[in-house]
Amino acid sequence: MGTAQLILMQVLNTGVIIGVLMLVTLGLGVIYGMMDVLNLAHGELLMLGAYSVVVASTMGLGPWEAMIVAPIVVGAIGYGLERGLISRLYRRPLDALLATWALSLIFTQGIRLIFGPAPQSVTAPIQGAVDIVGLPFPKYRLFVLVISVVLTLLVLALFRYPTFGVKTRAVFQNADMARCLGVRAPRMYSGVFAIGGALAGFAGALIAPLVTVEPTMGAVYLVRSFLSVIVGGVGNLAGVAGGSVVIGGAEGVIAYFSSGVFAQVIVLAIAIVIVRVRPQGIFSKR
């Protein structure tokens, strides 16, 4: 196998990581940017998406149906969470942090009690590999890459679209002012949380056939997506996506040359440096 081919493989694999990370981070970023809530349970929303697929297939649904069900279920959970819990914590950011952390604990333990700690197996809806420059690349991975990029672009477009997009961006930038102008902020908040949850849930469903599905699977995505948000810039969705590219890409590249743990160390160090040098994030317009 030639070096160029290996590199291409690694690029594609990194692309899958970045793609999924973008979906998760978008969900997190919208919630943080709009409501200043750092949702520490976001990783668990991804996990719930993966488990939704497990449940759906036990109930006899096909893998494609399961993949549709997951974001709906987790989106609904997100909506419920916002109405029941998050809405009480808007003026208390550190308390919100603790509360969502407690929530993540509850979700993890709850799933562990229901399903047990052992990993679940999920079959990919698409089997087989495709030939890319002479090397086999799993079709499903390609699918994940493509759909996550497409979905990311769709979400970015949605937030630019008149009416919904403008309203949300207004609330994004100045909630009180937007309210004065008649935008119904509370409804927006629940809606955004639902969207964030749906995105995470869908990401979970996407990666379920590719990774180990167990109760603590969400944690690593949580850290990665927070770093992406911090690095990419808050208040700017495209920036958040850009941050995912930076973080996911860095980790993928470094992990190729050394170990996964070393990659995590370097990526964290890079993130801290960026926060120090440009606190508003790389892609922020401030």
Interface contacts to other proteins, rule CB under 8 A: 38, 40, 85, 88-89, 93-95, 97-99, 101-103, 105-106, 109-110, 112-113, 219-220, 223, 226-227, 230, 259-261, 264-265, 268, 271-272, 275-276, 279, 285-286
Closest approach, Cβ 38 to other proteins, in A, equals 5
Q: How far apart, in whole angstroms, are the C-alpha atoms of residue 231 and residue 190?
A: 26
Q: How far apart, in whole angstroms, are the C-alpha atoms of residue 19 and residue 150?
A: 9
Residue placing its CB nearer to other proteins in the complex, 54 or 230: 230
Neighbours of 63 (CB within 10 A): 18
Closest approach, Cβ 131 to other proteins, in A, equals 35
The tokens describing 195, both together, are 């969207």
Closest approach, Cβ 261 to other proteins, in A, equals 5
Q: How far apart, in whole angstroms, are the C-alpha atoms of residue 198 and residue 191?
A: 10
Residue placing its CB nearer to other proteins in the complex, 130 or 282: 282
Closest approach, Cβ 104 to other proteins, in A, equals 8
Using CA atoms of 199, 107, 86, 239 in order, give the dihedral in degrees to the nearest 10.
-30
Residue placing its CB nearer to other proteins in the complex, 1 or 261: 261
- Strand segments, DSSP code E, in the chain are 129-132, 135-138
Residue placing its CB nearer to other proteins in the complex, 92 or 184: 92
Closest approach, Cβ 43 to other proteins, in A, equals 11
Closest approach, Cβ 92 to other proteins, in A, equals 8
Q: What is the b/e burial string over 2-18, where b = at least 16 CB atoms within 10 angstroms of the residue's CB? A: eeeeeebbeebbbbbbb
Residue placing its CB nearer to other proteins in the complex, 42 or 167: 42
Residue placing its CB nearer to other proteins in the complex, 105 or 154: 105
Q: How far apart, in whole angstroms, are the C-alpha atoms of residue 3 and residue 259?
A: 19
